[in-house]
Structure 1
């Protein structure tokens, strides 16, 4: 499995072509191990689906092989102190490799459920072309495990995503006489400060102290000697399960003093702790961890969101690693092996 991971890492999958190449590599590996993957393409993005097992229920193993950009040397895996350092080692080629090996080891064991492996190539840019496409075309299953790095904990929930632009207008004037104008940048920032005090920002839940609001981009002004008469703020809001995004938008519109344009609205994931798939996974995980399973909520979004739209319980659950999207990304090899064994024992529990 370690060698499989290293081969996957050597493929620079930070571009569409590279990610497609990684999917093709996974397909060939599965074929060489007596599995029968189907290759699917949508809008130039490749993905594969491979199914084994039998039964009334289908458990989906979902993983992505695309990665964020990195330095050239990050695509050469370095093994040190029981870890592999590389771009994509944790996020999430280790999880994908473990799922592939689990499929290989389960292929002749006839578990009491179907397992559907999905390997996709566009999660880092939103997932609409691959997992979103698969879900809308019936590849849904009854329970979904996305092998994002979670330190071998179960991420039951994920915040929803709301990306919007707020356009604020002012009045231009000569830069030497700013009192004769109305500075749109200053006005926009005051709107932002009001936004941080809106009721939706003060709400909390079991896993989260509050939603998050990121002022990602602010653009306005043209030259030094002119009071800017227009400013646009780009906001990335991660809202809680149970919150209504339309109500959040209405709250923002009430203080915006300008046009609000919604660019993206992604729903939260809110899988229940007492869901039967979770109550069956938890003791398996605790046996391997020799202790209580960590259960938490993620701040960011993953491909679990596409299943949540249809009410399908989905979790993020994967090996131990750190610094994904950073310079020193790594995965712990022992956790990768343990993760594979947990997946196999979980499937066998059916």
Structure 2
């Protein structure tokens, strides 16, 4: 997979603008863009090709009059599938800065927190028996559902923060059974947990394993949460020009790769609705507003720092 990196200006601070070019699957008609009532419809218009277009236009404008800082645009191919080969790879190679702005859809608000990811494969045993005599076996599907309820009952899923009511717990996949006339002796669940900033994923995993001593549990994917300080000087300056609120994202984005390296990272993007769903759209006017906010932020990056 290939990423695109472009930069303009020199010196400090280094501002990273990050966007992903990949989109989730959709129906054929989702890939036929059209405009209506000031909205651009189409798969990826909101998440997040609209923001990418605004960033590209901004970079072209900045190239005419270089800013008093270094602006780095990184466009990556794989955020929707995990980001390891895109932003993850670039961050490991040193493409970081004093602040990273990922153009995820936020309706012109600024996400300074995001939940972490803990995706688990849980294999629950049962006892096989003839399907006509299920009482002679132990149905692994039923056992798995009970195991899921046990996980859901853990008090860690009742914790909250100022930005989040609770962690997220989703039974995403389940697989069991070979034939109709046999009680399944094994069931495999795929569980997607989005834990809160401040929660420890290792402790969470240990709690789950302790509560399910008979199950085999493997980590499929783990990703760090984002907890960017709201009083960071660059974050505060961005908020000044955006004139908007801070919030927390339930989902995960490439901000996590920057956060893992101690780089203040935020999600900030244009307005729209229905990303990953039917009738996805971005508000065309917000694309221009978004570009102008970023331009003012960058053009005035060294002005009035003591007043922020």
> TM-score with structure 2 length normalisation?
0.95
Distance 2:263 2:178 in 1: 49
3-state SS of paired residue (1:305): helix
Query: Offset at 1:75?
Result: 2.2
Q: Which residue of the partner structure matches residue 315 of structure 1?
A: 266
Q: Which residue of 2 aligns with 1:163?
A: 119
Alignment equivalent of 1:266, drawn from 206, 214, 223 = 223
Among 119, 122, 126, the alignment partner of 2:78 is: 122
1:181 CA drift (Å): 1.3
Deviations 1:253-297 (A, max 9, x none): 0122211011111000111111111111111111xxxxxx12111
What CA deviation, in whole Å up to 9, does each residue of 1:16-41 have, x standing for no partner? xxxxxxxxxxxxxxxxxxxxxxxxxx
Say if 2:102 is the partner of 1:146.
yes
Equivalenced residue count is 300
C-alpha distance after superposition, 1:298-327 (max 9, x if no partner): 111111111111111101100001111112
- Counterpart check, 1:183 vs 2:125: no
Q: Distance in 1 between matches of 2:106 and 2:256?
A: 16
Per-residue deviation, residues 187-239 of structure 1 (Å, max 9, x unmatched): 11111101101121111111101101100111111222221111111100000
RMSD (Å), alpha carbons: 1.1
Deviation for aligned residue 1:115: 0.3
Residue 279 of structure 1: aligned partner: 236
- What is the alpha-carbon distance in structure 2 between the residues aligned to residue 170 and residue 330 of structure 1? 47
Q: Secondary structure at the match of 1:107?
A: helix
| Separation (CA, whole Å) in 1 of partners of 2:12 and 2:246 | 27
Unpaired runs of at least 5, structure 1: 1-44, 287-292
Correspondence 1:334 to 2:274:
no
Higher relative contact order (CA 8 A, sep 6+): 2
Structure 2: gaps (5+ residues): 302-308
- Find runs of 4+ consecutive structure 1 residues off by over 3 angstroms: none
> What are the Cα deviations for residues 116-153 of structure 1, in whole angstroms up to 9, with x where unaligned?
00011111111111111000001011100001110000
Other structure's SS at 2:64 match = coil
| Contact 2:151–2:208 (CA under 8 A) maintained in structure 1 | yes
Moved more, 65-74 or 164-173: 65-74
Equivalent residue, structure 1, for 2:2? 46
Give the whole-Å Cα distance in 2 for the aligned partners of 1:62 and 1:308.
Answer: 13
